[in-house]
Structure 1
């Protein structure tokens, strides 16, 4: 019978209708083909006004065909808006921007391409302040870099920006971008003093040299352009950081599905994170020695017979009764098989932290703590760090805000992730409040996400996850090479992208099957964003479900952010704020990051040029 064509297939409609006409042998068939040819072309071009001379049978079939065509077009339009977004449409992407904002953005991107300017940006800024004074310097910065990447100096100044974002379907993640401008030597001094034990100044309380402080890597800002760095000074400074994070949580509560972001190194002495990370990795190493080999991460483990056999092979002295006692202690769910979820359980206790995390010692056959060499004051400092984290989580829960804990260096991250999972257990019982961050450039990130998801499913709490590529690649590789441990980074950019997609699939499948997880795709990479939307479409996860979020930095990647918001997706901008002078380190990193993202920045420049030209010519024509 007759085929109904999509509106855009004008040429195909003509050809098929003409072919049908040639195959017609009687006048009625010829008339029918001619009318369909004409009608299809009219409908496809939007010029169909009806034809007075149409025979009745033609009019009936045309009306039926037109109604089907309109229905099909409507369905396709909805799909295009929700998952097949055009990120090359400059007019649509920049409709929220004034002409002056477009010109400023283009100027800033051009300046970021000047290597000398970026390399010496701090020195040039200091010199400009001395020559022209603070007032003129502030005007210059607000007209260029500050105006592009920072929303304002305080909570009141940023409100017009957050209101504007909201108007175009974009949320705000407030970020107090003030950083102390300290020298490299000062940073190293602070790091070394905060990463050694107060009871033994020459030790960090760790065994693996990866988790020891090394002065040559003491300035954690080195070769890092997309992440903020906090250095520990004292407990009062940590309290100040907590109060600022609380202000961001309160501000985020104004909008629905609000987010706030924090870093654990801002909340306490990093020595604890080093010691705890070292303990976790050593415990995992012992688990791997006892476990079944060459199986998926969730299938690893051991039963009582394997435990006795491997313990004997490892030279762990124990009687049959002692081995049964150990195994019973480790078999948390009493299944007769100790898996990684059992092994990773923290013992809830009111003891000192150094007495909590205990495992069998292969040499002595006795239980011993993996957190040692901690003074009473250090134990108190660690408890205060966790108390600050607890205070922020409770505030976020009460304010209806989601709290994202940013990832940090690999020698801190095992402890950070473990603490965040413990927070999820407590606060994610009714909705996702706490979000962990997974850096997909790390080889182990997929396995870590898999185990954490399995724990969430087993214990029936909501899972919150932010996926990023990672911010510390150069620093991590140099440190691993210098200290002689395995490089934790994926071997190539493509391997990182593949791992990012694997993590997206893992999370999206979990969201589809359980509806008990949220994922933030925090990326400026168009392919990663498109892949997430495509998989959402295939799995039937709608944008309206508010279970998948997207995030980009203010002043960057607007051609991705705004079309996502206009299509109904939950998308957010990281919105930094703070006084001009005190956010200079942040602005310095943004300049370096834009220089490093040459391909994306060049594409965005071309889109800005195209939109500026379009507006100029439109204005001239009118």
Structure 2
């Protein structure tokens, strides 16, 4: 099969002296060749397991066959041997995303000897094999079904060992805060910090949800959610202990490091969805008050809308909670009220009392959190505040992960409260301090630029440090499916280029805030080399790093463990603040996370093809060296 493939490829290449030639067939350049190399390595006795014989032999045979066929073809065409096109070992198409405009890079990420110097050859081979497997659509898009089949055929134990030695070993650091230490230490040696992430995930319909009101019926449709297996409030408390241990591990192993948390671990996912519904209804209420749609509620609009939707009660004064007079004084309506001020003044906890004044029961009344829901919300806030306060005492930053759009308004609401409390610009002694809480913005969502601009403005008005992690996003498939099922427009950008443009624009927005002395910090969490290079160029153009250590300018770079190593190690090796997202957890619990990694590496959102090419180049360099 390989020789037939070689014949077809090389006969077409020899038709023109200028045609690019491949040094190997797709078999040897792809998964088949890698499997062959691994099999050879396993079959040889210990004394004969040399890297050359195990990995170079198939490549050597294929390349010699290719050279021989090209020479014969060239002679038949009358070309001199010297005119034979120069062969490039294991040349493959890249999946790199296009840049809007070419940039002169400030760093060389193609120096594979430098960027991969901390990775062993076996780690590179494993990465090469896994990335190629992920690019096979039949594998990546049916990973869950393949795992189920493997359990049925091989058994649970053998399947678990197989996953643990391959995908888990590549994308996760260990199962607990102890087993991850060697990975953290290795990253530190390469100048790369760690963002520890307890990566267990579960489907929303798998939650043994306590009934949280009638609205939980909307959760019956299966959704792949970034949620933990929720059994009880006690389980959420246990997750707090896990995150506290995670913060301790960061403090001990990665000074000024990060810990990542998910709010679906700290409260009932059904409650988070109810909170999100409530926040959406609050926005709709603002739009009703803003009669002329200019984005500002005037005094006249406020009075008219209040009388239309809410009832006055006997004895109302300026001190009566949520009376018209009290709200007008609270909002200072004479100067007009914009949406940002609206969200600052009205809290979710206020809605039960406010909606008791409604003339008729409507969506806002139904969305308000009452009774047990209010207690669950208070418990959720207490858990996240406990983690934030502990992280602050340990000198650790917290990154709150983004999740699906039906959770995100609730997550943002909690994070903005935390930022106002823990991201103050100075401590009690008046000393400038860095932010503790980072929110996450998904740039594949059309609404992200507006949300980012509002949150920057909020931080400026309330005088606290803004801190953001920008990602492209990880729930595109489910978001589009849900939008199609529910009959509303997809919240996700229509094209990948739109997502790239949105991401780069959001980076520029935060860099402008940093350069303007707004007290902002940014984590560029991207595997896209073009975005990284644009960020570096933006930092330089704005003079953000002038006279400063690049690790202390408030601009950080993050990539997932096992992905985009050339970026992480390249940045860290050149003195930039580079971090790896380091997931950990029990193998069975993190399986949904691993499935999403496989889907992302199918080359739809990321330039994994370029990474494969760099790994190939380094493997060939080591073999020949």
Matches within 5 A, 1:194-343: 194=210, 196-197=212-213, 202-204=214-216, 213-216=218-221, 218-221=222-225, 228-254=226-252, 255-291=254-290, 300-308=295-303, 326=324, 329-330=327-328, 332=330, 334=332, 336-343=335-342
The C-alpha deviation readout for 1:476-502, integer Å capped at 9, x for no partner, is 222222223343222322222222222
TM-score by length of 2: 0.72
CA distance in structure 2 between the partners assigned to 1:232 and 1:357 by the alignment: 31
Stretch deviating more after TM superposition (551-560 or 580-589): 580-589
Please state whether the residue corresponding to 2:523 is helix, strand or coil. strand
Please state whether the residue corresponding to 1:379 is helix, strand or coil. helix
Aligned equivalent of 1:392, options 387, 400, 403: 387
2:188 corresponds to 1:190: no
The C-alpha deviation readout for 1:153-184, integer Å capped at 9, x for no partner, is 3323222211111111111111223446xxx7
Cα separation, partners in 2 of 1:357 and 1:463, compared to 1, 3 Å: farther
Please state whether the residue corresponding to 1:549 is helix, strand or coil. strand
Please state whether the residue corresponding to 1:344 is helix, strand or coil. helix
2:571 corresponds to 1:574: no
Aligned residue in 2 for 1:75: none
Aligned equivalent of 2:556, options 549, 552, 559: 549
Q: For residue 126 of structure 1, report the CA deviation from its aligned partner.
A: 6.2
Aligned residue in 2 for 1:209: none
Cα separation, partners in 2 of 1:364 and 1:133, compared to 1, 3 Å: closer
Aligned equivalent of 1:475, options 478, 482, 491: 478
Stretch deviating more after TM superposition (333-342 or 126-135): 126-135
Cα separation, partners in 2 of 1:306 and 1:411, compared to 1, 3 Å: same
Please state whether the residue corresponding to 1:595 is helix, strand or coil. coil
Q: For residue 385 of structure 1, report the CA deviation from its aligned partner.
A: 1.2
Cα separation, partners in 2 of 1:526 and 1:371, compared to 1, 3 Å: same
Cα separation, partners in 2 of 1:527 and 1:177, compared to 1, 3 Å: same
CA distance in structure 2 between the partners assigned to 1:245 and 1:576 by the alignment: 12
Please state whether the residue corresponding to 1:475 is helix, strand or coil. helix
2:511 corresponds to 1:512: no
CA distance in structure 2 between the partners assigned to 1:474 and 1:179 by the alignment: 17
Aligned equivalent of 1:451, options 440, 450, 454: 454
Could you list the runs of 5+ residues in structure 1 that have no partner in the other structure? 1-81, 205-211, 222-227
Q: Is the 8 A contact 1:292 1:301 kept in 2?
A: no
Q: Is the 8 A contact 1:355 1:371 kept in 2?
A: no
The C-alpha deviation readout for 1:292-338, integer Å capped at 9, x for no partner, is 7576xxxx2123134346668x687889x989963662454646221
Stretch deviating more after TM superposition (125-134 or 445-454): 125-134
Aligned residue in 2 for 1:411: 406
Stretch deviating more after TM superposition (338-347 or 424-433): 338-347
Cα separation, partners in 2 of 1:142 and 1:470, compared to 1, 3 Å: closer
Cα separation, partners in 2 of 1:360 and 1:170, compared to 1, 3 Å: farther
The C-alpha deviation readout for 1:122-169, integer Å capped at 9, x for no partner, is 565566678778887666545432222122233232222111111111
CA distance in structure 2 between the partners assigned to 1:483 and 1:174 by the alignment: 36
Q: CA RMSD in A?
A: 3.4
Cα separation, partners in 2 of 1:194 and 1:595, compared to 1, 3 Å: farther
TM-score by length of 1: 0.73
Q: For residue 424 of structure 1, report the CA deviation from its aligned partner.
A: 0.9
Stretch deviating more after TM superposition (331-340 or 542-551): 331-340
Cα separation, partners in 2 of 1:412 and 1:111, compared to 1, 3 Å: closer
Cα separation, partners in 2 of 1:512 and 1:357, compared to 1, 3 Å: farther
CA distance in structure 2 between the partners assigned to 1:373 and 1:404 by the alignment: 26
Q: For residue 391 of structure 1, report the CA deviation from its aligned partner.
A: 0.7
Cα separation, partners in 2 of 1:414 and 1:143, compared to 1, 3 Å: closer
CA distance in structure 2 between the partners assigned to 1:359 and 1:525 by the alignment: 50
Q: For residue 460 of structure 1, report the CA deviation from its aligned partner.
A: 0.8
Q: Is the 8 A contact 2:212 2:373 kept in 1?
A: no
CA distance in structure 2 between the partners assigned to 1:152 and 1:189 by the alignment: 24
Please state whether the residue corresponding to 2:583 is helix, strand or coil. strand
Cα separation, partners in 2 of 1:342 and 1:527, compared to 1, 3 Å: same
Cα separation, partners in 2 of 1:264 and 1:505, compared to 1, 3 Å: same
Q: Is the 8 A contact 1:174 1:574 kept in 2?
A: yes
Q: For residue 278 of structure 1, report the CA deviation from its aligned partner.
A: 2.1
CA distance in structure 2 between the partners assigned to 1:289 and 1:213 by the alignment: 25
Please state whether the residue corresponding to 1:95 is helix, strand or coil. coil
2:396 corresponds to 1:374: no
Aligned residue in 2 for 1:145: 167
